[in-house]
Amino acid sequence: MARRIVTNMSLSLDGRYAAPENPVDMSWVLPYAVTDVARAHLTALWEPAGTALLGRVNAEGFLSFWPTVIGAEGVDPRDEAFATWLVKTDKIVLSSTLATPPWERTTVVNRPAAEVADDLRAGDGGDVLVLSSASVIKALLAAGKVDRLALMVFPIFLGGGPRLFDDGLPAHEWTLVSQAAGEHGELSLVYDRK
């Protein structure tokens, strides 16, 4: 059986994945990312995954944060479990500018995301999880390579900024496979390609 390409992205209620004034500032996500619904959402995605696929920006951002979670005092066990998985799992980073891998167990690849996804899908292991890397997810959606689309929707309007779903995506139907609402209005939505 072929591996699935699973993508995960956090979106504002107005469909943005980043604020207009500072695209790398994710402070708008933080109040919702630590909820039980958000943690259960992420856990359900990484547990069956055998490879993480990331863009350069996310790989570098994750490197500065997630390893510090392991063994830190007061850390939620679900966050530590994810951090441990991320450090120990095989990671593919798509980049045309990185010369050396930013993490252990990391391979840097300078090829189109769709080609890399096809190669990974044909290999062995669990799901291939694309974590919040908008450029990679957008390329995979445009090429029709996403098998499972996971979204955390947070009850905030950013009022501008980049959108995940650009015009011109190939028409396709999706089936809702899970949904959950949190106490702050956050939504976990997971869809499979029909």
User: What is the per-residue pLDDT across 117-136, written as a single tens digit (0 to 9) for each?
Assistant: 999 999 999 999 999 999 99
Mean pLDDT of the chain: 94
Whole-number Å distance between alpha carbons of 89 and 103: 11
Instruction: State the residue range of the domain holding 61.
Output: 30-150
Count how many domains the chain has. 1
Q: Is the pLDDT of residue 85 over 90?
A: yes
CATH number at residue 75: 3.40.430.10
- Judge whether 62 and 85 are in contact, CB under 8 Å: no
Among the residues of the chain, which ranges form H helices?
A: 30-33, 36-46, 56-69, 77-88, 113-122, 134-142
Q: Is the pLDDT of residue 7 over 80?
A: yes
* pTM, entire model: 0.95
Taking residues 134-151, report their average pLDDT: 97
Q: Is the pLDDT of residue 9 over 90?
A: yes
- The pLDDT of residue 37: 97
- The pLDDT of residue 62: 87
Judge whether 42 lies within some domain: yes
CA-wise closest residue to 43 among 157, 107, 104, 131: 131
Q: What is the pLDDT of residues 26-81, one digit of tens each?
A: 889 999 999 999 999 999 999 999 999 999 988 988 888 899 999 999 999 999 99
Name the percent of the chain lying above pLDDT 70.
Answer: 99
Judge whether 36 lies within some domain: yes
Taking residues 160-170, report their average pLDDT: 93
pLDDT bucket at 100, cuts 50 / 70 / 90: confident
Judge whether 12 lies within some domain: no
Judge whether 175 lies within some domain: no
Judge whether 172 lies within some domain: no
Whole-number Å distance between alpha carbons of 58 and 106: 13
- The pLDDT of residue 1: 66
- Judge whether 190 and 150 are in contact, CB under 8 Å: yes
CA-wise closest residue to 11 among 149, 114, 141: 149
CA-wise closest residue to 8 among 132, 113, 94, 169: 132
pLDDT bucket at 25, cuts 50 / 70 / 90: confident
Judge whether 82 lies within some domain: yes
Name the percent of the chain lying above pLDDT 90.
Answer: 86
Judge whether 58 lies within some domain: yes
Judge whether 25 lies within some domain: no
Taking residues 167-180, report their average pLDDT: 95
